[in-house]
Chain A
């Protein structure tokens, strides 16, 4: 039987439980004897802890313990970096609980364990804290001044500077006929998940085993960190991935609570659960995106881009968290995007400030740098009098130039290249779908009181980060087959796409794949999880390898039982057959199980184009999107329905970042947007006119599936395209548009006379 589940819009298996309220998220767990943790968080952005008096809190009825740094002999453990773990970052890593100093509003200071959340919150009120306030470092400019230091022993608030280099930018600038220099900024927002984070830990004192529920994204890596911190062998800890209410890069990294809750459970020898509330989530989950660039572009008079050069400053918040450096380095490495830029010289300085630490948020650094680049390109087009589309076409990397080497990042990173694709093709499709040529005449026109704007931009999206993923196939008692995989589910539908891939590889119907078990540490020997749009490529390719090993082992076992050569065995739906017509049901081989793996150090690059037609009401700064088109080529597509879901879903997140979402701090480092009434997210009525088109014309040459990671494409281009379209609409006002988000007040201000 020859299958074609890959490429089909198969309805999702996960939906059957989610739609009936039968998902099991970490807060749905409630073992006997469960205690609840609540966390006292710093209300000061920067200061020295003079005292934390827990006496009164411990007297509250129903309180079992109050844990502070004092309870950790040898000091609280430090959370190490997972990605780019450079020695320079070490001194800036976060202790699991404030120790001597607090460095951001929201930093954990004490953990109360009580019979209920409400009692725990009552007890929080009774903790007496004295903090000697220090001057707050509220942004990178203050950080750079060095007037106040977060880490005094370091002598500077800068943790590191990355360099992205290609060719000789200085030489190119020296002889360039045209140069433009701009300062551009992106605001701070984050990968808010609908389900707040949660951890539940159970300690089995007799067996010396720790079970941690609520794991997500990278459970195996987090187990390694926790084992070291808590002093247990890795195999004494089981991390369980429950249903996960959204990841977006932010959830599932190792946070302070991932130590504090297991520590409390072991300390009290009782199950302990902590569920983040939304206010905590806004100040405790990784923030992202806040950056400023001072960048120059050099071009020929005909628009050929010669070089990019400049300085980037990122606001890292108070600590270097597990993946905190990714966004910063991506801004530098991917500023050239899908365009041919032979000379690049960018430095990116990572500044520590008294704000929530940053980490990755879907399209880390890419959303920011695409805004910077696409905005610059529109400015260049205007300066040189060249059509915006023609300018992009001239500079897009051609299919014949693939694989195309990109700027190298120092320190740490090896060389990287774009794997495959025809960037003109997605631009053509995008322009056709939005009817660019017919709409071009609307640019800047005022119709019924609103100004119409148009913009188009091109993007690339990295995926498939290595090094490895593991998968296993096993025969169940009833002869059905289960898939076990190291990839994690964060809502993207991995149970369905892995069942599609497994059914095709084994050439059996999909309903023979009974279960797809993922994430938890018990399922495979080692797992690498879900980040950098890697699950389909890495997990899917590992699954192909597992299928090969599994089939070989099954045929070998069947050959012995049926008395023929292994090569003569035929596997069909639910049985194995020998040439003579003898056969055995698969259930006869129950327990047979084989692992496979996929190793890869290269990245895949999906790509595409986005275009928008919008209208701006200059009187109130309101922008309405009339049509938005995203075209993505993602190589071989496993499930076009879920891919489209990723594109539209990520696009709306990108529009949130372009228009609405903004984590605002005052000069004292106080977070001013601590609720969902202040931190605005897109709703169902905000952006109804969005369209996505997926293409599969250019498979990736670097994995057996030919697939490319593709969970971010809609988001990456949104900021740049929206900014250019608003500037295009308001061209008669000569708007000063150099910063995101484009809140109504900012858009309105652009239409006002400048002082």
Chain B
């Protein structure tokens, strides 16, 4: 079925089977392979993308449901020249090893910090508890997200 939505600021138009998930659509139809699929039942969070501002598991959403939405993937949160402050903080804190869960961590953390740039460690842990990482033990990921908060704070001090 024909579906139109926006990905990383660009309009896209795809023709997918009704049963195609948003994750498969992004990966296989749009070739945005930064979004990873780790469980296909909504537990691991590797496939997390941002849909209209919310962190969403793209394995639990059909591509057709994205009709008219604004979707942001890890590619849309990246620059060619340098790492973003969030990414640089992940690197500095060694918050990734194999890199497979990382795109989901970045999208989840970005959605959180965009809404709550003053969140505390407990809140970061609570939100990230929906994203599984098997390598790092999470300590460094939580540190990286906390350390990136300043980049999300509005200049006037209001979140």
Is the beta-carbon distance between B138 and A683 smaller than 8 angstroms?
A: yes
Cα–Cα distance between A241 and B40 once the two chains are bound (Å): 24
Tell me the residues in window 21-69 of chain B with beta carbons closer than 8 Å to chain A beta carbons. 27-28, 31-41, 43-44, 46
Cα–Cα distance between A248 and B32 once the two chains are bound (Å): 27
B90 to chain A, nearest CB (A): 6
With A676-B43, A677-B41, A684-B128 known as contacts, the answer to whether A23 contacts B136 (CB < 8 A) is no
Is the beta-carbon distance between B19 and A491 smaller than 8 angstroms?
A: no
Cα–Cα distance between A432 and B19 once the two chains are bound (Å): 58
Cα–Cα distance between A194 and B48 once the two chains are bound (Å): 14
Is the beta-carbon distance between B36 and A12 smaller than 8 angstroms?
A: no
Q: Which residues of B lie under 8 Å from residue A16 when comparing CB positions?
A: 83, 91
Is the beta-carbon distance between A278 and B39 smaller than 8 angstroms?
A: yes
Is the beta-carbon distance between A690 and B132 smaller than 8 angstroms?
A: no
Question: At the interface, yes or no: A1 with Cβ under 8 Å from chain B?
Answer: no
Is the beta-carbon distance between A676 and B94 smaller than 8 angstroms?
A: no
B32 to chain A, nearest CB (A): 8
Question: At the interface, yes or no: B133 with Cβ under 8 Å from chain A?
Answer: yes
Question: At the interface, yes or no: B134 with Cβ under 8 Å from chain A?
Answer: yes
Is the beta-carbon distance between B134 and A193 smaller than 8 angstroms?
A: yes
Question: Chain A, 464-496, contact with B by CB distance < 8 Å: what is the 0/1 string?
Answer: 000000000000000000000000001111000
Question: At the interface, yes or no: B2 with Cβ under 8 Å from chain A?
Answer: no
Q: Which of A23, A27, A641, A681 has the most CB of B within 10 A?
A: A23
Cα–Cα distance between A203 and B40 once the two chains are bound (Å): 30
Q: Which of A21, A24, A676, A686 has the most CB of B within 10 A?
A: A21
Q: Which residues of B lie under 8 Å from residue A651 when comparing CB positions?
A: 137
Q: Which residues of A lie under 8 Å from residue B128 when comparing CB positions?
A: 683-685
Question: At the interface, yes or no: A755 with Cβ under 8 Å from chain B?
Answer: no
Cα–Cα distance between A677 and B44 once the two chains are bound (Å): 10
Question: At the interface, yes or no: A649 with Cβ under 8 Å from chain B?
Answer: yes
Checking B97, B106, B121 against A645 with a beta-carbon cut-off of 8 angstroms, the contacting residue is: B97
Cα–Cα distance between A12 and B99 once the two chains are bound (Å): 12
| Chain A residue at minimum C-beta to C-beta distance from B92 | A11
Question: At the interface, yes or no: B74 with Cβ under 8 Å from chain A?
Answer: yes
| Chain A residue at minimum C-beta to C-beta distance from B102 | A18
Checking A196, A245, A686 against B98 with a beta-carbon cut-off of 8 angstroms, the contacting residue is: A245
With A19-B87, A20-B87, A245-B98 known as contacts, the answer to whether A278 contacts B41 (CB < 8 A) is yes
Is the beta-carbon distance between A277 and B40 smaller than 8 angstroms?
A: yes
| Chain B residue at minimum C-beta to C-beta distance from A644 | B94
With A194-B44, A491-B99, A684-B129 known as contacts, the answer to whether A648 contacts B137 (CB < 8 A) is yes
Checking A649, A676, A688 against B39 with a beta-carbon cut-off of 8 angstroms, the contacting residue is: A676
A632 to chain B, nearest CB (A): 14
Q: Which of B74, B92, B98 has the most CB of A within 10 A?
A: B98
| Chain B residue at minimum C-beta to C-beta distance from A18 | B99
Q: Which residues of B lie under 8 Å from residue A533 when comparing CB positions?
A: none
Question: At the interface, yes or no: B140 with Cβ under 8 Å from chain A?
Answer: yes
Q: Which residues of B lie under 8 Å from residue A20 when comparing CB positions?
A: 34, 74-75, 78, 83, 87
With A194-B44, A245-B36 known as contacts, the answer to whether A118 contacts B98 (CB < 8 A) is no
Is the beta-carbon distance between B132 and A194 smaller than 8 angstroms?
A: yes
Q: Which of B27, B28, B96 has the most CB of A within 10 A?
A: B96
Q: Which residues of A lie under 8 Å from residue B106 when comparing CB positions?
A: 19
Is the beta-carbon distance between B34 and A22 smaller than 8 angstroms?
A: yes
Could you tell me how many residues of chain A have their Cβ less than 8 Å away from some Cβ of chain B? 58
Cα–Cα distance between A373 and B99 once the two chains are bound (Å): 35
Tell me the residues in window 108-159 of chain B with beta carbons closer than 8 Å to chain A beta carbons. 121, 124-126, 128-142
Question: At the interface, yes or no: A421 with Cβ under 8 Å from chain B?
Answer: no
Checking B19, B33, B34, B136 against A648 with a beta-carbon cut-off of 8 angstroms, the contacting residue is: B136
Checking B33, B83, B125, B133 against A194 with a beta-carbon cut-off of 8 angstroms, the contacting residue is: B133
Cα–Cα distance between A641 and B91 once the two chains are bound (Å): 11
Checking B46, B130, B132 against A681 with a beta-carbon cut-off of 8 angstroms, the contacting residue is: B132
A490 to chain B, nearest CB (A): 7
Is the beta-carbon distance between B96 and A15 smaller than 8 angstroms?
A: yes
B60 to chain A, nearest CB (A): 13
Is the beta-carbon distance between B90 and A19 smaller than 8 angstroms?
A: yes
Cα–Cα distance between A11 and B93 once the two chains are bound (Å): 9
Question: At the interface, yes or no: B101 with Cβ under 8 Å from chain A?
Answer: yes
Q: Which residues of B lie under 8 Å from residue A192 when comparing CB positions?
A: 134
Question: At the interface, yes or no: A653 with Cβ under 8 Å from chain B?
Answer: yes
| Chain A residue at minimum C-beta to C-beta distance from B128 | A684
Is the beta-carbon distance between A645 and B140 smaller than 8 angstroms?
A: yes
Tell me the residues in window 660-691 of chain A with beta carbons closer than 8 Å to chain B beta carbons. 675-677, 681-688, 690
Question: At the interface, yes or no: B5 with Cβ under 8 Å from chain A?
Answer: no
B8 to chain A, nearest CB (A): 11
Is the beta-carbon distance between A23 and B132 smaller than 8 angstroms?
A: no
Is the beta-carbon distance between B78 and A649 smaller than 8 angstroms?
A: no
Is the beta-carbon distance between B137 and A652 smaller than 8 angstroms?
A: yes
| Chain A residue at minimum C-beta to C-beta distance from B106 | A19
Question: At the interface, yes or no: A428 with Cβ under 8 Å from chain B?
Answer: no
| Chain B residue at minimum C-beta to C-beta distance from A643 | B94
With A645-B136, A684-B125, A685-B125 known as contacts, the answer to whether A676 contacts B41 (CB < 8 A) is yes
Cα–Cα distance between A19 and B74 once the two chains are bound (Å): 8
Q: Which residues of B lie under 8 Å from residue A99 when comparing CB positions?
A: none
Cα–Cα distance between A677 and B142 once the two chains are bound (Å): 23
A204 to chain B, nearest CB (A): 24
Is the beta-carbon distance between A493 and B97 smaller than 8 angstroms?
A: yes
Question: At the interface, yes or no: A328 with Cβ under 8 Å from chain B?
Answer: no
| Chain A residue at minimum C-beta to C-beta distance from B131 | A684
Question: At the interface, yes or no: A619 with Cβ under 8 Å from chain B?
Answer: no
With A195-B38, A492-B97 known as contacts, the answer to whether A675 contacts B134 (CB < 8 A) is no
Q: Which residues of B lie under 8 Å from residue A243 when comparing CB positions?
A: 98-99
Cα–Cα distance between A676 and B42 once the two chains are bound (Å): 9
Question: At the interface, yes or no: A14 with Cβ under 8 Å from chain B?
Answer: yes
| Chain B residue at minimum C-beta to C-beta distance from A17 | B99
Q: Which residues of A lie under 8 Å from residue B43 when comparing CB positions?
A: 675-677
| Chain B residue at minimum C-beta to C-beta distance from A278 | B39
Q: Which residues of A lie under 8 Å from residue B131 when comparing CB positions?
A: 684
B72 to chain A, nearest CB (A): 11
Question: At the interface, yes or no: A30 with Cβ under 8 Å from chain B?
Answer: yes
Q: Which residues of B lie under 8 Å from residue A17 when comparing CB positions?
A: 99
Cα–Cα distance between A210 and B141 once the two chains are bound (Å): 40
B103 to chain A, nearest CB (A): 5
| Chain B residue at minimum C-beta to C-beta distance from A683 | B129
Question: At the interface, yes or no: A642 with Cβ under 8 Å from chain B?
Answer: yes
Q: Which residues of A lie under 8 Å from residue B97 when comparing CB positions?
A: 246, 491-493, 645, 649
Is the beta-carbon distance between A491 and B98 smaller than 8 angstroms?
A: yes
Cα–Cα distance between A653 and B46 once the two chains are bound (Å): 18
Cα–Cα distance between A245 and B17 once the two chains are bound (Å): 29
Is the beta-carbon distance between B94 and A641 smaller than 8 angstroms?
A: yes
Is the beta-carbon distance between A676 and B132 smaller than 8 angstroms?
A: yes
Q: Which residues of A lie under 8 Å from residue B41 when comparing CB positions?
A: 278, 675-677
Cα–Cα distance between A653 and B138 once the two chains are bound (Å): 11
Cα–Cα distance between A274 and B86 once the two chains are bound (Å): 34
Q: Which of A14, A20, A277 has the most CB of B within 10 A?
A: A20
Q: Which residues of A lie under 8 Å from residue B136 when comparing CB positions?
A: 645, 648-649, 652
Is the beta-carbon distance between B38 and A196 smaller than 8 angstroms?
A: yes
| Chain B residue at minimum C-beta to C-beta distance from A282 | B39
B48 to chain A, nearest CB (A): 12
Q: List 27 A-B contacts (CB under 8 A).
A: A16-B83, A18-B98, A18-B99, A19-B96, A19-B106, A20-B87, A25-B36, A27-B33, A30-B31, A118-B17, A118-B19, A194-B134, A243-B99, A278-B38, A491-B98, A493-B97, A641-B94, A651-B137, A652-B138, A675-B39, A681-B134, A684-B124, A684-B129, A685-B125, A688-B121, A688-B125, A690-B139
New A-B contacts (6) at CB < 8 Å, excluding given A21-B103, A652-B136, A684-B138: A194-B101, A194-B135, A653-B134, A681-B132, A688-B139, A690-B137
List the 4 closest A-B pairs by CB distance, nearest first: A21-B34, A491-B98, A18-B99, A245-B100
A residues bordering B, Cβ < 8 Å? 11-12, 14-25, 27-28, 30, 118, 192-196, 243-248, 277-278, 490-493, 641-642, 644-645, 648-653, 675-677, 681-688, 690, 714
B residues bordering A, Cβ < 8 Å? 17, 19, 27-28, 31-41, 43-44, 46, 73-75, 78, 83, 87, 90-92, 94, 96-103, 106, 121, 124-126, 128-142
